[in-house]
Structure 1
Amino acid sequence: MIKHGIERQTLAVAAIPMLVLALLLEGYFTYMSYAEMDRSLLRRANLIVRQLASSSEYPVFSGNQSLLQQQVDIAASHQDIRSVVVRDANLRNLAVAGNLNNTNERVLFENPMPVSDNPVVFHEDHNFLWLYQPILATQIQLDEFDNDRAVNLPNKVLGSVIVAVGKEALNRDKLEMLGVNLLLLLLVLLTTMLIAMRVSRRITLPVMAMHNAIRRIGKGQLDTRIAGNSVRELDALASGINDMANQLQQDRSTLEQRIEKATQELRLKKEEAEKANFDKSRFLAAASHDLRQPMHALGLFIGELRSRLETPDQLKIASKVEESVEALSSLLDSLLDISKLDAGIVIPQIQAVDMGAMMRRLQQDFQPIAQRKNITLRVRPVEGAVLSDPVLLERILLNLLSNAIRYTPQNGSVLLACRRRGEELRIEVRDNGIGIPMEEQQNIFREFVQLANSARDRSKGLGLGLAIVDRLCRLLHHPLSLRSAPSCGSNFTICVTRVIGVEELLAEPEPISAVPISRHDRLDNLQVLVVDDDILVRTSTAGILETWGCRVAVADSLREIGDRHSGVNFDLVICDYRLPDGDGLMLADLLKVQCDIPPAFILVSGDTAPEILQSVNQRGLHLMHKPVRPAKLRSLMLFLLKKRSESD
C-alpha cells in the first residue's frame, strides 16, 4: 500500500472536489451555451428562409427569374449562408446562389421534401444545416354577400426554397468558448492547489520538525527541544514532546546511576563467584589427587591379589572389593572428563561418521541393560554419514541412553532414532520415564544435579553425565535441545551436519584391546622403572608388574634415580607427576636428552588440574589418571612397547 504525506493528501482533499465541481459546472454551462448558439443559428436561418419563400412567391408565379435571382443573392449574402436554391414545382432550379457541389445536389435530390408551413431542417451534418420551405400561392375566395360563409381555398405549391447554412463560425465560437472555459478551470484549480499547499505546509513543516526531533531523541539526544507553533494543536503536541524529553532525560540520569551501582554489585558478585569456582576447582583437584593415590594402589593390590587367590569364595570377595573400587574410579573418571573439557585440551577429530554402525553398536551394548529392567529399547538406525568426532559423538549418545534407561521405570520404553532434516540429521533419544519440569530443565546440565536422586543412590549415576553431554555438544557445535514434562518422559535432540554423497566412510579407530594376563607374555624380563613418592603406590605397582614377569626398579624422587639407577637402560618408565624434587615432565625431558633410544614413558597422576593436562598434551606424552586399572595399564604398556620396537 502506497503511503502519501499530509501535503499530498491535503492537496487531494482540496483539489479533487473542486475539480469535480468545476468540471460539472463547466460541462453544464458549456452544454447550455452550445445549445443556445445552435438555437440562435437555427432561428436566424428560419427567418431568412421564411422571408425568401414569401418574397419569391410572385417571381416564381410570374416567371421573373432576374428578380428571383436578385432576391436569392440577397439571401445568400447573409452571414453563415453558404448556398441558396429556389426550385419550381417540377424540382427545376430557378435561381441558385453560393457553391452548389455534387454533395449538395445529392442532398437536395435524395431527401424527400416535406410540405409544411414552417421551415424544416431535413439534413444536418458537422459543417452544414439544410432548411426547406415550400413556396405557396395563397388563394382566397370572398363571398361579397355573406361574409360568414367565406371559404379559404387550399394553397398551391409553386416551388420551394432550400438554404444551406454553414456551421464553421459556430464551431469556431464553440471551440473558443471551450478554450476559455478550460483556461478558467485550470486557473481555478491552480489557485486551489496553491492555497492547499500553503495551508498544508503550515502543518507538514512543523510535523517534519517534530519527526526529526523525535528521531534525535530516539538516538539518545535527550536535550533536543521543539519550538512553539502558531497552530494550537501542533503547539500542544510540541509541548508534550518537550515534556517527554525532559522526563526521559531525568529517567536516563537516574537509570545510569542505578546501572552503575548494579554493575559494581555484579562485578563484586562475579569476582566472588569466580573465586568460589576457583576454590571449588582447587578443592576438587586436591581431593581428587589425594583420593586417587590410595585408590590407585588399592586397584593394583587387588589385581595382584586376584592372581594369587584360588578358592571361589576368595575370588568372590575380591570381586566385591573390585566393584567398590570400580564405582569410586567411575566417579573420579567423570570428574576427570569435566576437567579435560574445562581445560580445553580435548580437540575434536572431525570426520565422516557412519551413523548406522554407531547406532547398531549402541543397541548391542545397551540391549542387555534394558532387558534387565524389562525396558523396551528400540533403535531406528539410518544409513548415512555425519560430520563429527566418532568417539565424542558416541560418548554423547552413550550418556543419553544410559540416563534414559536409568530413569525409565520397568515396562517402559526408550527410543534412539534419526530423522533427516535438509542438510542436517536429528538424533533423538526418547523415553517415557519420570520427565523433567520446565523450571529444572536448565539445571540438569549442571554438575552433580540429580532431580530424582536426593538420597544420592549410586545406582542412579553421579550427576555428571548430562554436564559432559552439554560440554561435548558445545565443543562439537552440535545444537542440543530438550522437550520434557513431568510423567510424560523426555526427548533429547542433537542436530548434526550430514555428509551427502560420501560413499566410503572413514574407518573408526580400533581401541586398544586388553591382552589377557599371562605369565608367558612379551612382558617377561621387561626392564621397568617405577617412580612415585607414595610407598603404597610404588609397592603395588612393582607387585603387579612382577606378576607379569617384569624386572622392576623403584625410586621415590629424581635424585634417587640419579644416585641408584644412573646408566641403566630401561625399556619402560612409569612415573608419577608430582615428585618431591620436581615432576614427571622433567624426568621425561631428561630421558629424551640423555638416552639414545628413550624408553617408553607413562605418566601417572592423580591431579586433574587443567594446566597439567595442557602441559602433558603439548609434549605428546601418555597420561593415565589414578586409579589405573591393571588391564588398561597392561594394554598401554604393550601398545607403547610395540610402537617403540617398530620405530627401532
Structure 2
Amino acid sequence: MKNWGIQTRILILALAPAIVVAGALSIYFVLALLADLDRDLRDQGLGLGRQLAAIAEYSAYSGDRQALNSIALAALEESHVNSVEVYDQNGDALAASGALPPSLNPLPDASQSVVIHESLDHLRIAAPVLRHRLEAQDPFLADSPTAGPGELPPLLGWVVVEMSRQALDARRKETMVFTLALMLLTVAATSLLAMVLVRQVSRPIIRLERAVDRIRTGHLNLQLPADSGGELQRLEEGFNTMARALQEARGNLEGKIHEATRELERKRQEAERSSLAKSRFLAAASHDLRQPLHALNLFAADLKNNASDPDQQKLAGQIGTSILSMSELLDALLNISRIDVAGVSPQYEVMSLQALFERLRHTFAREAESRGLRLRFRPTQAWIQGDPALLERLLGNLLTNALRYTERGSILVVARQRRQGWRLEVRDSGSGIAPEHQQAVFEEFFQVGNAEREQGKGLGLGLAIVDRLAKAMEVPLELRSALGRGSTFALLLPAADPQEAGAGATEQVPTVALLTHGAGYMEATANQIMGWLQDWGFHCRRVESAEGGLRLAAVPEESGDAPFLWLAVGNPESLSPLLDAGAGHPAVVITPDAQSPDAPWFTLSHPVRPAKLRALLLRLRDEWEDAKADAKP
C-alpha cells in the first residue's frame, strides 16, 4: 500500500465502502427473499392440505374412493403440487393422484397440519381429516358419533400434499441474478463517480508532483496555474512562491560559488607555483651544494689522515659525520625534488625479483652486519612487470628505513604469490609504528619519536620518496605495524611470464664493483661516490676482500651479476690481483697520488669532479653495451 499512487488510494477510498454496503445489502435482501419464498411455499402447502382435508371429510367417512381420487386429481391443478394422497386413520392409502403409495408410517400428528418430510426438491405436508359436528338432516350422519364440546373431532384419515421446490429454485436464481446485476450497476455508478472525484482531486496533486520532479532537476523557473480552487489552489500558489524564492537563492548561490571557485583556483595556482618553485629551489640548491660539499668531505678526510693527536682526530671525525649527514640530507632533498619537479616516467619491463634481491643483498649486507642485524632475502622464482631502477630505489629506501629503526633481530625481504600477482614484503623486528602515525609517516620530514631531529635517525624523507615512487608505478603500498612488534611494508606487483622477457627485460643495470679493501682506501669518498652512482643509474656492488673480487671476476657475463667496471678509491693496489687473474673489465682509480701513464687503469685525481667521473663512466658503459651488442649472434 505504501507504493500506491494517490489516484489508486482515492479510488479505493471511494469504492471500498460502496462495494461493502452494496454487497451486504444484496446478501441481506437475497437471504430475506429466499426465506420469504420458502415460507410462502410452506404456507401454501399447509393451507392446501387443510382445504383438501375439509373437502375429503365426507368422502373419507363414506369410503368413496372415487370421489377421493377426483379430489386428488383436481388438486394437481394448483401450482407447485406434485401429488396428493389420502390415507385412512390406520395409515392405509385410500386414493392418490397417481399410483397408490404404501402405508403411511409413522402416522402424523392428528391434531394439526404438519410437514412430515422436507428435501431440496420437494416438501410433504400431512393434514388430518377430522369428522366435525354437522347440522344436517341426513339420517346417515345423524346417528354417527361426533365430538362434544372441547373434544378433538374423531380422526378419519390424512391428506398428504407433496409440494415441488423446483419452481422455487428458479425464483431463487432469478432473484440472485437480479440482485447481482443491481449490485454491479451500483458499483459501476459508484466507480464512475469515484473516477470523476479522483480526476478532480488528484490532477492538481499529480501536477504538483511532476513540478517537484522538475524542480529537483534544476528547472526552478517553473510556475503552475493556480486554478484548482480551495486548499489545492492555495497549495499551488505557495508552490509558485517557493519556486521563485529558490530561483533567486540559486542565482545568488551560483554567483557566490563562481566567485569562490575563482578565488580557490587562484590560490591553487599560487600554491602549485610556490610548491614548484620550492622544489626547483631545493633541486638547484642541492645540486649546487653537492660539489663544495664533496670537496669539504675530502678535506675532512685529509684532515683526519693528517691529524697528529687524538683530539684532532676526534674533531675531524665529528666534522666528517656532520658532512655525511648533510650529504644525506642533500641527496634526499634532491631525490624528492626531482620527483616533484620532473615527475617519474616508469619504464616497465619483465624482470626477475631474484636478480633484484641479489643486488640489494650486496648493497646492504655490510651495513646490516655492522649493526648486528640479520638481513635475509628469501629465494624466489618470481618474474614481474616493473621498472627495475625505480623498484630497486624504492626497496632500497625501505631497507634503509628498516636498518635505521631496528635495534636487534632481523630484516626479511620475501615475495609471496597472490591471485593478483606477487606481494613483495619488507619485514623488520623494529619498534613498530602506532596506528595513529601510520598515515603521517609517508609525509615529508615526519618522524616518530624524533622531535629533537637527531642526525642518526634520518631526515624523514625516505618513506615520502617510497610513497611517491609507488604512486608513480601505480603499485599499491600497504603498511602493517604494531608497537613493539615491527613493521611490514608490502607492494603488490603484477606477475609476468619469463618467456615474454624481450630485449628490455634482459637488459642489465650496469654494475660497478667498488673495491672497499686494501691500503689507502678512503671510505668517506667512497660513500659519496656510491650516492652519485645510484643517482646516475648505476648499481654499486661492494667488494670487501681480494677473494671476493676474484670470485666476482669469475662470474660469467651472461649471468647478469658481472660488473662492467672496477672502481678503486685511494687503493689501486687492490686492482693488482684482479688484473693478474685476467679480469677483462676496465678499471678506474681515484687517488691523490701520481700514477704511471702505463698503468692498466684510468686515473682521476683526488678530489674528483663529479662531472668528469660521470662522463668517464658513461663512456665506458656505452663501450660495454656496444661490445655486448656485437657479441650477440
TM beyond 0.5? yes
Q: How far apart are the structure 1 equivalents of 2:383 and 2:133? A: 125
2:545 counterpart residue number: none
3-state SS, counterpart of residue 8 of structure 2: helix
Q: How far apart are the structure 1 equivalents of 2:261 and 2:490? A: 36
RMSD: 5.6
* Conservation of the 8 A alpha-carbon contact between 2:283 and 2:333: no
Give the 5 Å matches for 1:419-498. Answer: 423=420, 433=432, 435=434, 437=436, 444-450=441-447, 452-480=449-477, 494=490, 496=492
**1:575 Cα deviation after fit:** 9.6
Q: Does the alignment pair 1:112 with 2:112?
A: no
Which amino acid is 2:123 matched to? L
Q: How far apart are the structure 1 equivalents of 2:435 and 2:189? A: 76
2:164 counterpart residue number: 166
Q: How far apart are the structure 2 equivalents of 1:547 and 1:213? A: 97
Structure 2 unaligned segments of length 5 or more: list them: 135-146, 516-567, 569-573
The C-alpha deviation readout for 1:94-127, integer Å capped at 9, x for no partner, is 33226x7xxx96xx76963423322222222222
1:56 counterpart residue number: 56
Q: How far apart are the structure 1 equivalents of 2:375 and 2:601? A: 48
Give the 5 Å matches for 1:395-414. Answer: 395-396=393-394, 399-400=397-398, 402-403=400-401, 406=404
* Conservation of the 8 A alpha-carbon contact between 2:300 and 2:320: yes
The higher relative CO (CA closer than 8 Å, separation ≥ 6) is in: 1
Give the 5 Å matches for 1:43-122. Answer: 43-89=43-89, 92-97=92-97, 112-122=106-116
Q: How far apart are the structure 2 equivalents of 1:189 and 1:249? A: 47
* Conservation of the 8 A alpha-carbon contact between 1:352 and 1:499: no
Q: How far apart are the structure 1 equivalents of 2:119 and 2:595? A: 133
3-state SS, counterpart of residue 112 of structure 1: coil
Equivalent position to 1:129, from 116, 123, 132: 123
Closer, same or farther: CA 29–412 of 1 in aligned 2, 3 Å: farther
**1:266 Cα deviation after fit:** 2.6
* Conservation of the 8 A alpha-carbon contact between 1:352 and 1:388: yes
The C-alpha deviation readout for 1:253-301, integer Å capped at 9, x for no partner, is 2222222322332333233223323322332332233223345667789
Which amino acid is 2:117 matched to? H
Q: How far apart are the structure 2 equivalents of 1:134 and 1:541? A: 159
Which amino acid is 1:463 matched to? G
Q: How far apart are the structure 1 equivalents of 2:309 and 2:287? A: 34
**1:68 Cα deviation after fit:** 1.3
* Conservation of the 8 A alpha-carbon contact between 1:436 and 1:484: yes
Q: How far apart are the structure 1 equivalents of 2:261 and 2:439? A: 25
Closer, same or farther: CA 383–603 of 1 in aligned 2, 3 Å: closer
Q: Does the alignment pair 1:549 with 2:543?
A: no
Closer, same or farther: CA 483–297 of 1 in aligned 2, 3 Å: same
Q: How far apart are the structure 1 equivalents of 2:451 and 2:152? A: 137
1:245 counterpart residue number: 243
* Conservation of the 8 A alpha-carbon contact between 1:519 and 1:547: no
3-state SS, counterpart of residue 97 of structure 2: strand
* Conservation of the 8 A alpha-carbon contact between 1:89 and 1:160: yes
Which amino acid is 1:215 matched to? D
Q: How far apart are the structure 1 equivalents of 2:179 and 2:253? A: 68
Q: How far apart are the structure 2 equivalents of 1:382 and 1:53? A: 125
Which amino acid is 1:247 matched to? A
Closer, same or farther: CA 166–528 of 1 in aligned 2, 3 Å: closer
2:204 counterpart residue number: 206
Work out the number of aligned pairs and report it.
Answer: 548
The C-alpha deviation readout for 1:204-258, integer Å capped at 9, x for no partner, is 2212211222222222221112222435433343333323322222222222222
2:560 counterpart residue number: none
**1:383 Cα deviation after fit:** 8.8
Closer, same or farther: CA 312–65 of 1 in aligned 2, 3 Å: farther
Give the 5 Å matches for 1:115-194. Answer: 115-137=109-131, 157-194=155-192
1:643 counterpart residue number: 628
Closer, same or farther: CA 186–495 of 1 in aligned 2, 3 Å: farther
| Greater mean alpha carbon deviation, residues 395-404 or residues 277-286 | 395-404
Closer, same or farther: CA 235–78 of 1 in aligned 2, 3 Å: same
The C-alpha deviation readout for 1:461-508, integer Å capped at 9, x for no partner, is 2222122121122123333466899x89997765626769x9999999
* Conservation of the 8 A alpha-carbon contact between 2:475 and 2:491: yes
Closer, same or farther: CA 505–406 of 1 in aligned 2, 3 Å: farther
* Conservation of the 8 A alpha-carbon contact between 1:135 and 1:161: yes
Closer, same or farther: CA 542–82 of 1 in aligned 2, 3 Å: farther
Q: Tell me the percent identity.
A: 33
| Greater mean alpha carbon deviation, residues 46-55 or residues 193-202 | 193-202
Q: How far apart are the structure 2 equivalents of 1:125 and 1:527? A: 127
* Conservation of the 8 A alpha-carbon contact between 1:53 and 1:133: yes
Closer, same or farther: CA 380–327 of 1 in aligned 2, 3 Å: closer
Q: How far apart are the structure 2 equivalents of 1:382 and 1:86? A: 123
TM-score when normalising by structure 2: 0.68
TM-score when normalising by structure 1: 0.66
**1:49 Cα deviation after fit:** 0.8
* Conservation of the 8 A alpha-carbon contact between 1:542 and 1:552: no
Closer, same or farther: CA 214–349 of 1 in aligned 2, 3 Å: same
